[in-house]
């Protein structure tokens, strides 16, 4: 791994932080920047992220765990049946935002 | 390092940081009194109607459809194969009533973009601010040699689930030992590209149990089909010698159909069956084409960001009736489009720019009751053309090879997929 340019990393991270925070601030509302994208998750994982079948419930999951799992699907370090074929185009911002969104939803036992 | 130069630790930190801000699902605000008419109570229409009410509760939504219950095409092949009951694939619209969607069992017969009205079978006319139209497909019997719609009473299509599903199932059950089932799928494009081959698989599963010397012959309108390698691998593993695939190039197309004799004639020979599942070629449902939304073609061209028809403003067309970029004609794709379309319509009503989000499609097929395979795709509308294009680095089919654990897992996921999809559409 090459050593990243600290300035570039700093600016990239700053931009993503701003983006994720503003997404959260505007409300993962109807008009939040990833409100269309998160709809892609619930078609398989259940309405509101609560599963009624084999797929795991993702609502109420710890955001860091969910982000870590998505990143691992994306880099191939975690094997999957289908997730590895779905997460490739997700950016770091998408993953951070999706994780934050489902973490904030009430889980199955709430 | 991740691809944008962000480390995993940093990405995790971001996910945590996002939590510190308020995350509230505050509904968007629409113009007062807006009325959305949704045409069609299938996967696309139902998903759109429910999402519309969830995103913009102050908007009035009326969904018009044919009947008080909906029978899903997905999983209807399990019914034909004797593995599920019809009651397990049939759903009511009660949950939509509870969401505040006005559901009318009075099908739409005409759409007039100029006056922004939908005319129902009863003669009632509904005015809309925006229409979301998801009417599915019609069969092009005129493209079959010498037969009309009545042919499906003898040679069922079973390509719209319900009475036709039962008809085909019962014909297979009463077939003589050692009989032949012919499946005749059309050329592309048509609803559910892997469907005929899942059907062949699950009929084979039934025959293996009850009529093991019977045969299945697929007389196809094309040379290649969806997930072909995986299906054929599964057929070899589970039903060796039972299913014969005859590509278009080997028969040259249908020349005649004798429903009484249960025989189809092709340019290079005849095929005699005991049961014939004749799946006609398809086009967008008449309401779309009659309204001029097909242009000079058989399907509706749309804008991939808003789903608005190219030929008419304020009319959004989703699902099998539309050409949705690279997305396939599947129930799951229609549901995904229904939700994305509701977001776009909400944005337009609120005077905002619609979002360019990511859409996904995942279609599972059963090769056997415990043998599942899948195809997936990820899509986003291109910034220059708004065409919904497949994104690189994603999608594709399940891995090939002798992988029994993966096949079993995917059969389990297929059941979960159906449970969650139908819960989102029809569940409380």
Q: How far apart are CA B61 and CA B56, in angstroms?
A: 10
A103–B19 CB contact, under 8 Å: yes
* Domain-located, residue B407: yes
Same domain membership, residue B122 and residue B150: no
- Judgement on whether residues B389 and B290 belong to the same structural domain of the protein: yes
Q: Among A17-21, B120-124, B272-276, B297-301, where is mean pLDDT lowest?
A: A17-21
Last residue of a domain, which of B240, B261, B281? B281
Rg (CA), chain B: 23
pLDDT category at A26 given cuts 50, 70, 90 is: very low
Percent of chain B, pLDDT > 90? 92
Q: What is the mean pLDDT of residues A61-85?
A: 95
Tens-digit pLDDT profile for residues B32-72:
689 999 999 999 999 999 999 999 999 999 999 999 999 99
**Residue B149 distance to chain A (closest CA, Å):** 35
State the Cα–Cα distance between residues B345 and B288, nearest whole angstrom.
19
Query: In A, which residues are within 8 Å of B419 by CB distance?
Result: 51-54
The closest CB to that of A92, out of B6, B355, B356, belongs to B6
Which pLDDT belongs to residue A9? 37
Residues B252 and B276 in one domain: yes
Question: Is pLDDT at B22 greater than 50 in this prediction?
Answer: no
Q: Are residues B118 and B67 in the same domain?
A: yes
Residues B289, B276 share a domain: no
In a domain, A45, yes or no: yes
CB B73 within 8 A of CB B160: yes
Mean pLDDT lowest for which of A20-29, A86-95, B144-153?
A: A20-29
Query: What's the mean pLDDT in A89-95?
Result: 93
Please report the pLDDT score of residue B25 as a whole number. Answer: 47
In this predicted structure, what is the pLDDT of residue A15? 46
Q: Which helix (H) or strand (E) holds B166?
A: helix B163-173
Residue A109's pLDDT is 77
Could you give the CA distance from residue A101 to residue B177 in angstroms, rounded to a whole number?
Answer: 56
For an interface test with A, the pick among B358, B412, B418 (most A C-beta atoms closer than 10 Å) comes out as B358
Question: A37: domain range?
Answer: 29-103
What the block records as the tokens of B32 is 């007062």
Give the mean model confidence (pLDDT) for residues B131-159.
98
Please give the pLDDT value at position A79.
Answer: 94
Looking at residue B292, what is its pLDDT?
Answer: 97
Cβ atoms of residues A19 and A33 within 8 Å: yes
Rounded to the nearest integer, the mean pLDDT of chain B is 94
Nearest chain A alpha carbon to B5? A9
Q: Is the pLDDT of residue B19 over 60?
A: no
CA distance A31 to chain B (A): 7
For chains A and B, what is the number of CB pairs under 8 angstroms? 217
pLDDT at B24: 41
Domain boundary among B227, B258, B281: B281
Report how far apart, in Å, the C-alpha atoms of A77 and of each of A71, A73, A74, B190, B378 are: 9, 6, 8, 37, 20
* Burial of residue B248 (number of CB atoms within 10 Å: 0-12, 13-18, 19+): middle
Q: For the ranges A8-17, B12-21, B249-258, which has the lowest average pLDDT?
A: A8-17
Q: Is residue B14 part of a domain?
A: no
Domain span holding position B94: 28-136+285-423
A60 is a domain residue: yes
The answer to whether A41 touches A102, Cβ cutoff 8 Å, is yes
Mean pLDDT of B220-224: 98
pLDDT digits (tens, 9 = 90+) for B64-75: 999 999 999 999
* Residue A17 C-alpha, separation from nearest chain B C-alpha, in angstroms: 6
- Of the three residues B242, B264, B281, the one that is the final residue of a domain is B281
Residue B53 inside a domain? The answer is yes
The torsion angles phi and psi of B170, rounded to 5 degrees, stand at -70, -35
Check residue B33 and give its pLDDT.
Answer: 85
The tally of domains found in chain A comes to: 1
CATH of the domain at B300: 3.50.50.60
Q: How many structural domains compose chain B? A: 2
Test mutation, B1, B7, B10, B11, chain A, max A CBs within 10 A: B11
Which one-letter DSSP state was computed for residue B182?
E
* Mean predicted lDDT score pLDDT of chain A: 79
């Amino acid at each position: 791994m090459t050593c990243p340019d600290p300035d570039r990393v700093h600016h990239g991270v700053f931009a993503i932080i701003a983006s994720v925070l503003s997404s959260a601030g505007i409300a993962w509302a109807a008009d939040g920047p990833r409100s269309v994208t998160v709809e892609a998750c619930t078609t398989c994982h259940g309405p509101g992220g609560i599963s009624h079948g084999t797929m795991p419930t993702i609502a109420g999951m710890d955001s860091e765990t969910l982000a870590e799992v998505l990143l691992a699907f994306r880099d191939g370090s975690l094997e999957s049946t289908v997730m590895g074929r779905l997460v490739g185009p997700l950016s770091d911002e998408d993953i951070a935002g999706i994780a934050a969104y489902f973490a904030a939803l009430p889980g199955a036992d709430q | 390092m991740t691809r944008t130069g962000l480390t995993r630790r940093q990405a995790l930190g971001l996910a945590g940081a996002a939590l510190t801000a308020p995350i509230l699902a505050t509904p968007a605000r629409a113009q007062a009194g807006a009325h959305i008419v949704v045409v069609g109570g299938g996967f696309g229409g139902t998903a759109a109607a429910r999402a519309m009410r969830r995103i913009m509760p102050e908007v009035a939504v009326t969904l018009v459809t044919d009947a008080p219950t909906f029978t899903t095409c997905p999983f209807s092949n399990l019914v034909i194969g004797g593995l599920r009951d019809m009651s397990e694939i049939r759903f009511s619209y009660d949950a939509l009533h509870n969401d505040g969607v006005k559901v009318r069992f009075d099908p739409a017969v005409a759409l007039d973009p100029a006056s922004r009205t939908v005319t129902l079978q009863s003669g009632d006319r509904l005015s809309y601010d925006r229409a979301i139209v998801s009417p599915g497909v019609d069969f092009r019997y005129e493209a079959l040699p010498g037969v009309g719609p009545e042919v499906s009473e003898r040679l069922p299509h079973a390509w719209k689930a319900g009475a036709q599903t039962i008809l085909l199932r019962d014909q297979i059950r009463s077939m003589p030992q050692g009989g032949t089932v012919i499946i005749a799928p059309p050329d592309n494009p048509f609803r559910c590209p892997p469907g005929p081959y899942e059907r062949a698989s699950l009929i084979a599963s039934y025959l293996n149990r009850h009529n093991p010397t019977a045969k299945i012959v697929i007389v196809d309108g094309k040379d290649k089909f969806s997930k072909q390698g995986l299906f054929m691998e599964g057929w070899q593993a589970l039903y060796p010698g039972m299913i014969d695939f005859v590509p278009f190039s080997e028969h040259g197309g249908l020349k005649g159909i004798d429903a009484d004799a249960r025989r189809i004639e092709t340019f290079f020979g005849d095929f005699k069956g005991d049961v014939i599942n004749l799946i006609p070629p398809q086009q967008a449902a008449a309401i779309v084409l009659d309204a001029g939304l097909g242009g000079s073609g058989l399907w509706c061209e749309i804008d991939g960001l808003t789903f608005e028809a190219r030929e008419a403003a304020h009319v959004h067309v989703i699902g099998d009736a539309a050409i949705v970029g690279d997305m396939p004609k599947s129930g799951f794709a229609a549901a995904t489009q229904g939700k994305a379309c509701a977001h776009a319509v909400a944005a337009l009503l609120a005077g905002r720019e619609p979002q360019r989000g990511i859409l996904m499609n995942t279609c599972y097929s059963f090769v056997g009751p415990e043998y599942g395979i899948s195809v997936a795709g990820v899509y986003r509308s291109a910034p220059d053309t708004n065409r919904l294009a497949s994104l690189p680095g994603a999608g594709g089919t399940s891995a090939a090879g002798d992988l029994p654990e993966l096949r079993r897992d995917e059969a389990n996921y297929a059941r979960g997929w159906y449970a969650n999809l139908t819960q989102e559409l029809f569940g409380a």
